[in-house]
Each structure stands twice: as C-alpha cells, then as structure tokens.
C-alpha cells in the first residue's frame, strides 16, 4: 500500500475515533481530530508527489486514485450535514429534520464507499506493476471497486426503508387472519366478561394456528379470557357448552354461548382460518349486542338479494350474507310494510339502494317523519334511474346522473374506453364514517370501486349542510358527450363528491343520513372489493351510532385480482419489452467487452 493511501485511511480512522468513540467535544477528541486533518493533508501531498513523477501511465493511475480519495474526503462534508449540530444550527425541526437527517445519514456512507473501495483497488493494481503500468488493469480495478461500492451501498437505503416500514410476511401454506381493528374494538368495549374455550386435542396443528389470535384478544382487554380444553377429557365442559367434538371454539358470556367450528385437520380448516376474524366478530356481536333490524326499501326498482334475473351488479346476496354474519337482521320495506304509513318501530336504519322509480309523496312523508323522530337513512342513487327531486330534497343533496370517468384510475374489464366509467378512488375526507377506511392499507392502496357513479352536490337550502365523505380522484370528469373521452369545451375535471353525510337533532330525535351517488358499489360484482365492504359496514355503523366498533375486518380469503389501466400498461410493456431488452442489452454488453479484451 502506498504512503498516500495509508495516510488517507489513517485520517479516516483517527476521525472516527475522535468524533465517534471519544465523543467529539473533549480535549482528547479535538487532538485526535487535528491529527486526522494532518493525515489528510499528508495524503494530499503524497498524491501530488506521485502524480508529478513516473511515466505517463503511472501518473494517470495516481491521478485516478487521487480523484477517488477526494470523493472519499468529500463524503465527510455530507456527514457533517447529517450531524445534530448542523441541523440545530440551520433550525430544522419535526418532519423536515427527520427527513434531512435520514437522507444525509444514508448518503454519506455511500459516497465514502464509492471513493474508498476504488482507491484501494487502484492502489493495489499500481503496486503490483512496479515496472510497466497496464492501463487496462487500472480500469478493471476502478470498475471492480465501483461495483463493490455500489453493491455494498445498496444496504444503506435498504436498511433505512426496512426500519421505516417495518413489516413481517407470513409465507405459510395455512395462514390465520390477524385480529382486525373492529374485533379489537368490540373486545375493548366489553361490559361483561367473555371467555373463549378452545376445544382441541393435544399437540394439534389447528390449535397452534388459532391460539395466537385469541391470546392477542386477551391482551386487548381484561374482560376477555382464553382457556383450552379437550372434548374427550373435559366431557362435562363440552356438554355444558353443547360442543360435540374437538375443533370447536366456544365464546361464552354468562349463559349465552356462540360456537365456531374450525376442525382439527389443518387442510380442511384452511378456509375457515382465513376468515377467522370475521367469524369471531360475528359471534361476539351476537353475544354482546342485540340484533338490529335494517330495512331495505322495495317497490321502486331497487337492488335486491332476491330475483333470478338480477345482474351481479344489482344483486345484494353477498351484502345480505355479510350483514347476517355481523348480527344485523335484514328485512324488506315496501308500501304494505309501512313505507306509506309509518316506518316499523324495530327499524334501526332504512337503506335505499339504487331505486329506478321515484318514491310516492306518501312514502317521502313517511321517511321525513321517520328522520324527524331520530331515524337513520343510508341512500345510494342510480345513474339510470328516474329523477326523484323529493328524495333529493329530503336528503339535502342534488344528484347528477352524468357518469364519472377517469383516464387513469379505473378498472379494466372490457379493455375498451367504456372501462373509464368504472372508477376507483382512495380520496377520503376526515369524516368518521370513512376515517378507519382512510387509515387502512386496503383503503389506501386498493381503494373503492364504483362501477357507474354519478356525483353529488349539497343543496343551498340544506340544513344542516351535508359533508363530503368520499370524492373521486383529481382529474375525474362527468361524461356528457357519450364518447368516453374528455371534452374540455363541455366537461370539467375535478374531484367530484361521491359520498356525503349529514346529522342533526338532539337526544332521541338525533338523525343521521349517508348518501352515495352509485348504489352498485354494494352489488355482488363490486362488493368483492374489500374496501367496498368496509365502506358499507362502517357507514352503516356510523349512522347507527356504532362508530366505536368500526374498522377493518381481517381476512386472508382469496379475492379476484384486477388491475387499473396504468397497472396493465406496466405489466404489458414490462413483460413484453422491458425485461427482454434488459436481457438483450446485458448480453450485448458482455459480448462487446469480451471482444475488446481479446
């Protein structure tokens, strides 16, 4: 090793000792830091001497080495910019301070490696050629040093990202869901104790899968406890809770018992384990709260769970099944059921989904009286339905049936321009009915899917004025020409309101309303999107005053994968052109390099 390179490394070592080990502010640290600077100065002098003497090829080699040494020394400037002393001097605070420190803390080691590793290899190459310097070997040493430096440097930003976005990935064949926010909230709000009794034989694989889930719930509240039992050994306990076999989970509160059958065979239990959180939440709700009746209006062409001729976009069979699991009793509400006279007294809420015919004046009057007495309404319009100005006035909104389009954020199903009407969005307000959805990964990344949405505007005479809850993405336009293309002379791009909510009254007469511009978001076609399920359930819970148990229901069930237009383009061009071109380019580079060497 040359004296110039040794002096460079000595300076780095002394600086590390002075600033890191000795603390930087002591007398000893100051002395060591001064010695480090003298070593750097000596390194510069020695590099200059070597550059001035020797044949041209050797001088060129030392010039290259000196350049990389300068890069290494320059990295110390970046290090200084990352220190607390500098950050305090410039006055950075909060998030700006954190970002500045993180960037320069990751940047200076990378620059140091880029300077130091090539320097060492160039120095090594020159020292092994005392007589004649071969420029090709110096170039190879430089390239090797840079490759090693960059490969090693990759660990710095990777480590930073891993620390900031800490996550674990479970790659097991059988995967049990984690505890969802909503289930945790139910357990934390328990007023009477609940015990989970896990009936499994010893050393059972399924028991090992479900045990951590219930232990997590037990940590969330002292009112929730867990114990394990064996059906064959604890016959009296099994008889008391009417458990017929192992592989059963009994949730017990007083005299009430809800049972979940999982099974003892790991392969057969796989499907149940994937939706365990949903099963447990449904059982808990049956224990801790009385079933609430939700009426869905009929007789105006609304979406329904019955009817063989209904398309998947207008059928509610999946939604009804989900509400049943969450302990809501779903009933139809037509003019003969009280819609024309008085809403039934057991109605917790009334839902109107995508009517195509206007409501009768008597029905509007009944709904108005229901609201004035503290009723709860969830309404979604249909772009193909007839205009119902009386219903809009009751809700305090104007519904515009022009279908929203976006040329980037949409679901590609037919691969035609018509797909632009199938918009997706993750544009939420801070309203409590969507606050949990805005916080979850599903809500932010997958977003909501609206197959055919109009848009809403608050009426000027509405009191109180409805608040926006869900908006289309920026750059959305309301289609008026029918060609699925933006016409800047007749159409305007903006973030249109898709969801609104309002509340008023006090005490027993407090009412709540939620309105959407597309009822098909709850149909069998769109409800497969998890975010859509969360939107409906969390909105229903908000109008019922149950927002404290709102939140994501965890599930590992397989769902249909659909990409947006941009995602499809990335996959198509990436697999068709980008990857083959990268492989071809790497091959051509390798061949050209071998020819140059030959």
More confident residue, 110 or 91: 110
More confident residue, 289 or 88: 289
3-12, 162-171, 259-268: which has the minimum mean pLDDT?
A: 162-171
Asked if 262 and 272 count as a contact pair (C-beta separation under 8 A), the reply is: yes
pLDDT of 552 higher than 60:
no
pLDDT in tens, 208-256: 999 999 999 999 999 999 999 999 889 999 999 999 999 999 999 999 9
Asked if 280 and 183 count as a contact pair (C-beta separation under 8 A), the reply is: yes
Tokens of 126: 């020159």
CA distance 202 to 211: 13
Tokens of 542: 């908000």
Radius of gyration for the alpha carbons in the chain, expressed in angstroms and rounded: 34
pLDDT in tens, 497-527: 999 999 999 888 999 999 999 999 999 999 9
Q: Is 543 helix (H, G, I), strand (E, B) or coil?
A: helix
pLDDT in tens, 435-462: 888 877 666 777 899 999 999 999 999 8
Model confidence at 116, pLDDT cuts 50, 70, 90, reads confident
138: exposed, middle or buried (C-beta count within 10 Å: 0-12, 13-18, 19+)?
A: buried
Element (H, E) at 41: helix 27-52
pLDDT of 36 higher than 90:
no
pLDDT of 35 higher than 50:
yes
**DSSP letter (8 states) at residue 199:** E
Which runs of E-coded beta strand occur in 392-548? 397-400, 404-405, 423-425, 427-428, 448-450, 455-458, 467-471, 476-478, 493-494, 497-504, 511-516
**What average pLDDT score do residues 305-333 get?**
90
Phi, psi of 545 (to 5 degrees): 80, 25
The DSSP line for 120-152 is: HHHHHHHHT-SS---HHHHHHHHHHHHHHHHHH
Correct CATH for 290-402+451-474+493-560 of 3.40.50.880, 3.20.20.70, 3.30.160.270, 3.40.50.300: 3.40.50.880
Q: Which fold is adopted by the domain 181-287?
A: Glutaredoxin (3.40.30)
Query: Which residues are bridge partners to 423 per DSSP?
Result: 410, 450
pLDDT at 569: 56
pLDDT in tens, 367-376: 999 999 999 9
The percent of residues in the chain predicted with pLDDT above 90, rounded, is 47
Domain 181-287 matches domain 290-402+451-474+493-560 at the CATH topology level: no
**Peptide bond before residue 81 is cis, with ω within 30 degrees of 0:** no
Residue-level length of the chain: 598
The percent of residues in the chain predicted with pLDDT above 70, rounded, is 86
Asked if 176 and 276 count as a contact pair (C-beta separation under 8 A), the reply is: yes
Nearest to 69 by CA among 125, 25, 12, 23: 12
pLDDT of 589 higher than 90:
no
Average pLDDT, the chain: 85
Question: What ranges do the domains of the chain cover?
Answer: 3-164, 181-287, 290-402+451-474+493-560, 572-598
The residues, ordered by sequence, that sit 6+ positions from 239 with a Cβ below 8 Å of its Cβ are none
């Amino acid at each position: 090793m040359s004296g110039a390179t040794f002096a460079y490394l000595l300076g780095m070592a002394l600086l590390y000792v002075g600033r890191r080990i000795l603390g930087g502010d002591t007398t000893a640290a100051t002395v060591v830091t001064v010695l480090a600077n003298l070593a750097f100065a000596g390194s510069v002098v020695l590099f200059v001497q070597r550059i001035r003497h020797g044949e041209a090829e050797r001088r060129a080699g030392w010039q290259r080495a000196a350049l990389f040494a300068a890069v290494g020394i320059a990295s110390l400037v970046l290090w200084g910019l990352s220190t607390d002393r500098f950050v305090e001097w410039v006055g950075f605070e909060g998030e700006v301070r954190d970002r500045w420190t993180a960037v320069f803390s990751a940047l200076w080691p990378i620059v140091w490696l880029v300077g130091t590793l090539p320097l060492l290899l160039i120095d090594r190459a020159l020292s092994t050629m005392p007589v004649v310097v071969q420029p090709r070997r110096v170039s190879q040493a430089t390239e090797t040093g840079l490759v090693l430096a960059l490969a090693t440097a990759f660990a710095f930003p990777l480590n930073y990202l891993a620390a900031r976005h800490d996550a674990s990935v479970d790659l097991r064949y059988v995967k049990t869901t984690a505890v969802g926010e909503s289930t945790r909230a139910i357990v934390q709000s328990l007023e009477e104790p609940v015990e989970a009794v896990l009936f499994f034989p010893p050393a059972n694989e399924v028991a090992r899968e479900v045990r951590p889930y219930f232990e997590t719930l037990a940590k969330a509240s002292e009112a929730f406890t867990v114990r394990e039992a064996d059906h064959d050994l604890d016959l009296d306990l099994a008889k008391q809770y009417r458990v017929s076999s192992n592989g059963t989970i009994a949730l017990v509160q007083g005299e009430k018992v809800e049972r979940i059958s999982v099974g003892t065979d790991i392969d057969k239990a796989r499907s149940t384990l994937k939706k365990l959180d949903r099963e447990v939440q449904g059982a808990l709700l049956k224990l801790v709260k009385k079933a609430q009746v939700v009426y869905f209006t009929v007789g105006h062409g609304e979406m329904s769970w019955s009817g063989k001729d209904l398309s998947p976009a207008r059928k509610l069979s999946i939604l009804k099944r989900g509400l049943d699991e969450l302990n809501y009793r779903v009933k139809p509400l037509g003019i003969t059921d009280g819609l024309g006279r008085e809403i039934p007294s057991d109605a917790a809420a009334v839902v109107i989904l995508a009517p195509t015919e206007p409501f009768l004046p008597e029905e509007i009057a009944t709904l108005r009286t229901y609201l004035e007495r503290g009723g709860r309404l969830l309404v979604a319009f249909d772009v193909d339905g007839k205009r119902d100005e009386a219903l809009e006035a009751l809700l305090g909104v104007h519904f515009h049936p022009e279908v929203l389009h976006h040329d980037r954020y949409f679901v590609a199903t037919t691969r035609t321009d018509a797909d632009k009407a199938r918009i997706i969005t993750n544009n939420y307000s801070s309203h409590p009915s969507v606050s949990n959805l805005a916080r979850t990964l599903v809500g932010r990344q997958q977003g909501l899917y609206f197959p055919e949405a109009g848009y809403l505007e608050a009426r000027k005479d509405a009191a109180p004025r409805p608040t926006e809850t869900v908006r289309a993405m920026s750059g959305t336009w309301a289609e008026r020409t029918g060609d699925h293309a933006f016409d800047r002379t007749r159409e305007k791009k903006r973030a249109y309101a898709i969801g609104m909510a309002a509340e008023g009254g006090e005490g027993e007469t407090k009412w709540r309303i939620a309105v959407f511009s597309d009822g098909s978001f709850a149909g069998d076609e769109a409800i497969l999107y998890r975010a859509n399920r969360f939107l409906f359930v969390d909105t229903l819970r908000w109008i019922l005053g149950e927002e404290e148990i709102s939140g994501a229901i965890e599930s590992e069930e397989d769902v249909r994968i659909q990409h947006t237009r941009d995602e499809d383009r990335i996959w198509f061009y990436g697999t068709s052109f980008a990857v083959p071109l990268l492989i071809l380019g790497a091959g051509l580079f390798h061949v050209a390099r071998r020819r140059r060497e030959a």
